[in-house]
Amino acid sequence: MAQEQANPDEVVLGQEINGVRVVTLNRPRQLNGISDRVVYILAQLLEKWEKDDDAKLVIFKGAGRAFSAGGDLKMFYEGRSDDSCLEVVYRMYWLCYHIHTYKKTTVALVNGLAMGGGAALVSPLKFAVVTEKTVFATPEASVGLHTDCSFSYIHSRLPGYLGEYLALTGARLNAKEMIAAGLATHFVLSEKLEELERRLLNVNTGDESAIRAVIEEFSTDVQIDQESILNKLPTIDKCFSAETVEEILKSLESEVSIDGNQWIAPGLKSMRRSSPTALKITLRSVREGRKQSLPECLKKEFRLTINILRSVVTGDVYEGIRALSIDKDNAPKWSPTTIEEVKGEDIERVFKQFSSEHEIQVPSDDSNRWNGKYEQTVYAKSS
């Protein structure tokens, strides 16, 4: 069995075993948080393997007890005084496009946390295998960010207004709920995951039917629990179809007092604790995503993230990270402090388009599919 193994201390490991390629996110003590180097290596490996005729199947997994808890927030905080995080943001969103459109068959083996940018390495794949230990969430608004890494595209295509609910409340889904919502494809008990991986390593084919057949030997059909929020979709749709954050909050406050609606309280509490500006940005982004293509969503998300990191209208993102990850007092002081104080013109400024050369350069067709890298942009040339 031909096998190629990278430096075992690297933040991303790339293995080549016959016709299978394996990506292992390898920052277990940081819950496989996505750093600039993680993004850089991932893009290199995926481009190499897509162009390799011998590569048939690509498996994604995480070392330790998480798949990936998402972006490295401390990295953003340390870069708050300049544009030093622009490069990793550009590379990540450019990578998201290629993950969504990857030409080889892909399988994610997700045992543990899959949050934010980490979940963006799961849901777009052809096969996403989850276990009883898997937890999904997109909690960005709670730290002053917005639902990014292609999730304005993904969330806007979930059933009803579930996407708005997940984006605004940061609510968590378990494996069964991920499958029911279309965010994952198969449920496999964690104790069987290693055996499944061994089988996949020996399949030596990228044929989707063959891969599906192997996974289904190990997978179990599951149903969501009776108390699952996915059984509350009529109420979620009623509340989260409202046009504004203010109206959504008002609707939730009305519904939570009704018998049997106590499940609303945690989400309502989360929204009240989140950055008012981030909530407004997030809702608009997901709403726009309903009518946007994947490239349009990624270009928009890139603008939003850069403008947020540049504190164009507020420094909430750094206050949110400080409260969660630096001082850990969980007491962010948002500016402005209430939804009503957020100005419409400030939100417009965050959404304002960049000049064409400053937009993320998403490939227009397969002939230039791997063009548009950061190194080829005006950002790299001016740095």
71 annotated active-site: yes
Catalytic residue among 140, 164, 301, 316: 140
117 annotated active-site: yes
Task: Tell me which H or E stretch contains 166.
Answer: helix 162-169
Catalytic residue among 14, 71, 112, 118: 71
Task: Tell me which H or E stretch contains 13.
Answer: strand 12-17
DSSP string, 269-305: HHHHHS-HHHHHHHHHHHHHHTT--HHHHHHHHHHHH
Q: Which of 214, 219, 229, 147 is nearest to 184 (CA)?
A: 219
Integer Cα distance of 335 and 346 in angstroms: 12
Catalytic residue among 70, 112, 117, 372: 117
Longest dimension (CA), the chain: 63
For residue 145, give the amino acid letter: L
52 annotated active-site: no
Radius of gyration of the chain (CA): 20
Catalytic residue among 148, 197, 255, 316: 148
Integer Cα distance of 193 and 214 in angstroms: 12
Q: Which of 58, 64, 67, 61 is nearest to 201 (CA)?
A: 58
82 annotated active-site: no
Q: Which residues are identified as catalytic?
A: 71, 117, 140, 148
